[in-house]
Amino acid sequence: MLGKLPPEKLLPEDQPSYVMSWAYVFGMGAIASLLWIIISGVVLGLNGPHWYHVSALGSFVNSTHLWSVELFFIFMVVHLWLKFWMAAWRGGRVLTWITGVVSFVVSIVAAFTGYLLQTNFDSQWIAFEAKDALNAVGVGAWFNVANLGQIFVWHITLLPLAVGAVVVLHVLLVRVHGVAPPLEAAAGDAQLLHNSPESTKTKDVAP
């Protein structure tokens, strides 16, 4: 791991000039939103539904949890669209692109289970409409959206771990391969290569 991702590459001090663009900000916005989703979700999970329905503080934390999810999806969708039009899978970054798409898909399922945990009329309506749909495709026996305990396990334990793992892998792959340069930046990959320690050593030894 240290060979693939040395500390100076994990936390680089220098970045190519094209990184100073709004196109590269939305990914970090999504990560910041995800961090608050996890923190507020832990607080909500420890106190339970009664707390965030009755307590004013609980209602506030629940609201920030919801709005951080909204921001997370806004930032992620913009990030994915920008990277799609930038062809961000170039230069051996296919797996980086795939992990970004997978994190988006898993996040949709996590958000869906979150709506089921509102424990109000809306969540009951969504649950039984979804149950009919899942029964129609034959998976209702394994994913019972009307079972509140099962949804708690999915939303609080399994899906956050899945989203977190994929996002961490995505960030590590970005550090390994570098950020994708714009299509018009023909020398972008070369610029990244010349800034790496290995290429500097090779350049010094070359006659």
161-197 pLDDT per residue, tens: 999 999 999 998 888 888 888 877 655 444 444 444 4
- At 174, list the tokens: 């970005």
- Residue-level pLDDT at 186: 54
- Interhelix angle 26-47/159-177, rounded to 10 degrees, is 160
Integer CA distances (angstroms), 27 to 32, 71, 147, 167, 194, in order: 9, 11, 34, 10, 25
Contact of 58 with 93, CB cutoff 8 Å: no
E strand segments, 40-119: none
| Residue 43 pLDDT level (bands cut at 50, 70, 90) | very high
E strand segments, 111-176: none
| Residue 32 pLDDT level (bands cut at 50, 70, 90) | very high
- Residue-level pLDDT at 20: 76
Contact of 22 with 158, CB cutoff 8 Å: no
Higher-pLDDT residue of 118 and 108 is 108
| Percentage of residues of the chain with pLDDT beyond 90 | 42
> Is it the case that residue 56 has pLDDT exceeding 80?
yes
E strand segments, the chain: none
- Residue-level pLDDT at 22: 80
Residues 6+ apart with CB under 8 A from 71: 29, 33
Global pTM reads 0.79
- Give the DSSP letter of residue 206: -
> Is it the case that residue 13 has pLDDT exceeding 90?
no
- At 66, list the tokens: 């919801």
- Residue-level pLDDT at 203: 43
- Residue-level pLDDT at 50: 87
Higher-pLDDT residue of 44 and 204 is 44
Higher-pLDDT residue of 172 and 19 is 172
Averaged confidence pLDDT in the chain: 84
> What do you get for the CA distance between the two ends of the chain, in Å?
31
Q: Residue 33's Cα: distance from chain center in Å?
A: 9
Residues 128 and 115: their CA atoms lie apart, in Å, by 12
> What does the pLDDT average to over 107-128?
89
